Structure formats: C-alpha cells, structure tokens
C-alpha cells in the first residue's frame, strides 16, 4: 500500500463509499484513488495489474448500489485533468471522462453546439454516462458519440469508434467490462445558437424537478423501462408508491425511484427491488430489470439467490 501512496498523490484506504455516491449507501473500499492525470492513471493501473487488485471506476456514483460490505479492491475517481472540454470542430467536442454531464450540456451550449441538452440534469459524469448510455427525454448518447479513448489494465490505449461501442437503450459494450477505463470521448452535435439551446435545457430542468425526487438521495431510475412501457407507471399502478423496507422507500413523486431516507442499507434497497419486481410481475406479468449497477460480491450473490 505504501507503493500506491507513492504513485498517487490523492489516495485513501478503507474509505466508506456512501459519501461518494448519490444513494449515500456503501461500505468501505480497500483503496480509493483519485489519479490527477493520464500519467498517474497509467502508473496506478500498472501497479494494480501487478498486484492483481480488481478496480472499478466511479464517476459521481449516480447509478450505483454499493454493498454494505464495500468493495474489496480499488475504486478510481478521475481527477481534475479529466474534466476538460475542447471544441475540435464547429459541431464536435472532445471531453474528459470526469467532466460532469451538466457541464457538457452547458459548455456545449455556450459553444453553440446542440444535442446535449438532455444531459444537463443527469447527476453523473461523461464517463459513466457513456458506459451506461444515460439518457432523458428520449435522447441518449447513441447518435452523439464519434469515438472514445480507453486505457486497458495493462497500460494499452485504444480508440473505440462508435460502431464498436454497442450503444443501445441504457447499455454499451463497456458496461460491466473489467480492466478498462474510459478516459475521454469525442461527441458530435449540431450547430445552433446558444440563445436557442438554453431554453430547452431550462425546460428539461423544470420537467425533471417537477416529476422526480431530485433533492433526495437516490440512484436515479432504479429499473429500465420495459419494452416502451414506463417502469414508473407500472410500479405506481401496482400501488407501491410510499412502500418501503427499512429506510429505503418508493418515492411518492416518481415510483421508479428508490429513495434513501437517511440510514437505508444496500440490503434494504435490494429487498425493496425484489419486492417491486415480484409485485409488478404478479400484477402486470412484466419482469422489471434493474438499471442501477450493483457493486459488491456479497449482494451480487444475494441477488442471484
């Protein structure tokens, strides 16, 4: 571990992960590292590779359910040098994976590039957004990505073009891939005046704040929408709004959100996920698939049980 402290300037050991994710739930990570730039990231990956320590990159932890027992490996949060945005053509930007989705939307707007308005209210980073193909208002990254640059655990760098990413609704080939770090992405939008872009961002913001529990601890929509139907509608129709397990409950504002009242555990959330799945299946004959990513061996096994 001393070697790690030598390689990375910002590093913590046995750090509880609750304060690093939007659900505010999660036990400790053996290592929590904040590589500042590509040099530090390469050195970190090389070291983790040599000592065979698994790692996982986390953006703002917006789509995660982290086990109460934490993560027995290294959690990597990309530091300041990964938050760049550069206009490389009239309608093309190159963006660091650590940039927030909100900054992508607003900075592209200021450059007169439209197409990223949907991202303004999504509480994640560009890296997490592309890996999960995050979206809102029927828009996601599918037709926006030109290519991404990734680092492999062994230090190799690779540029993956859009067709290699397998982007579908809330899905990409990078989701769940081990030993890979997305470091930057190139996006193409459309030219539009800043004055015409900003009202759409503001309208999306009003809609989202009006229909979703944006000021409470959650990990966004907990289930994918099944085959064009709204999971929120199905859960609401099954009478589950307000029901809960421990301190985790189904939001009264939007039924596809599980909200942490303050002291919910990952087990509470997982039990509630199962309760919702069973109830919706019994009522609608539809299987809801979790959109949230579950981190931690122990709860993955609980899920399979």
Q: What residues line the site for ligand EPU (CB under 6 A)?
A: 136-137, 211, 220-221, 224-225, 230-233, 236, 254-256, 291
- Name the residue among 200, 203, 202 with its Cα closest to residue 113: 200
Q: Identify which of residues 30 and 224 has a Cβ nearer to ligand EPU in the complex.
A: 224
Q: Identify which of residues 123 and 189 has a Cβ nearer to ligand EPU in the complex.
A: 123
Q: Identify which of residues 70 and 124 has a Cβ nearer to ligand EPU in the complex.
A: 124
Distance between CA atoms of residues 190 and 301, nearest Å: 45
Q: Identify which of residues 152 and 224 has a Cβ nearer to ligand EPU in the complex.
A: 224
For residue 29, list its beta bridge partners.
Answer: 15, 71
Q: Identify which of residues 93 and 221 has a Cβ nearer to ligand EPU in the complex.
A: 221
Alpha-carbon distances, residue 12 vs 74, 139, 206, 250 (angstroms) = 10, 37, 38, 33
Q: Identify which of residues 101 and 181 has a Cβ nearer to ligand EPU in the complex.
A: 101
Measured from the CB of residue 254, what is the shortest distance to ligand EPU in angstroms?
Answer: 5
Measured from the CB of residue 171, what is the shortest distance to ligand EPU in angstroms?
Answer: 11
Measured from the CB of residue 144, what is the shortest distance to ligand EPU in angstroms?
Answer: 16
Measured from the CB of residue 46, what is the shortest distance to ligand EPU in angstroms?
Answer: 34
Q: Which residues contact 149 (CB under 8 A, 6 or more apart)?
A: 157, 158, 159, 160, 182, 183, 184, 185
For residue 13, list its beta bridge partners.
Answer: 31
Helices and strands, counts by H and E, the chain:
8, 19
H-type helices in the chain, by residue range?
Answer: 2-7, 38-50, 101-111, 126-131, 194-211, 231-237, 266-284, 297-304
Residues 139-154 as b or e (16 or more Cβ within 10 Å = b):
ebbeebbbbbbbbebe
Measured from the CB of residue 249, what is the shortest distance to ligand EPU in angstroms?
Answer: 13
Measured from the CB of residue 258, what is the shortest distance to ligand EPU in angstroms?
Answer: 11
């Amino acid at each position: 571990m001393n070697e790690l402290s030598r390689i990375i300037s910002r590093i913590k050991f046995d750090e509880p992960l609750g304060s690093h994710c939007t659900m505010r739930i999660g036990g400790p990570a053996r290592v929590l590292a904040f590589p500042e730039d590509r040099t530090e990231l390469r050195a970190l990956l090389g070291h983790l590779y040599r000592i065979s320590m698994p790692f996982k990159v986390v953006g703002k932890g917006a789509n995660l359910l982290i086990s109460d027992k934490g993560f027995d490996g290294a959690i990597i949060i990309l530091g300041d040098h990964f938050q760049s945005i550069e206009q490389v053509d009239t309608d093309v930007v190159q963006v660091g994976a650590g940039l927030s989705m909100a900054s992508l939307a607003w900075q592209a707007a200021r450059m007169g590039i439209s197409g990223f308005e949907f991202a303004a209210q999504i509480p994640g980073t560009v890296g997490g957004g592309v890996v999960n193909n995050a979206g809102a208002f029927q828009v996601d990254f599918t037709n926006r990505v030109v290519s991404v640059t990734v680092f492999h655990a062994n230090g190799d760098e690779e540029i993956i073009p859009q067709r290699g990413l397998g982007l579908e609704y809330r899905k990409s080939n990078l989701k769940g891939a081990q030993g890979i770090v997305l470091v930057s992405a190139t996006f193409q939008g459309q030219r539009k005046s800043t004055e015409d872009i900003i009202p759409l961002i503001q309208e999306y913001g009003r809609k989202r704040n009006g229909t979703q529990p944006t000021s409470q601890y959650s990990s966004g929509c907990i289930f994918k929408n099944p085959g064009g139907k709204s999971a929120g509608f199905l859960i609401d129709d099954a009478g589950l709004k307000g029901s809960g397990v421990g301190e985790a409950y189904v939001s009264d504002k939007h039924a596809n959100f599980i909200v942490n009242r303050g002291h919910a555990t990952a087990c509470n959330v997982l039990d509630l996920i199962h309760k919702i799945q069973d109830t919706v299946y019994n009522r609608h004959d539809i299987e809801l698939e979790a959109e949230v990513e579950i981190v931690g061996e122990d709860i993955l096994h609980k899920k399979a049980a």
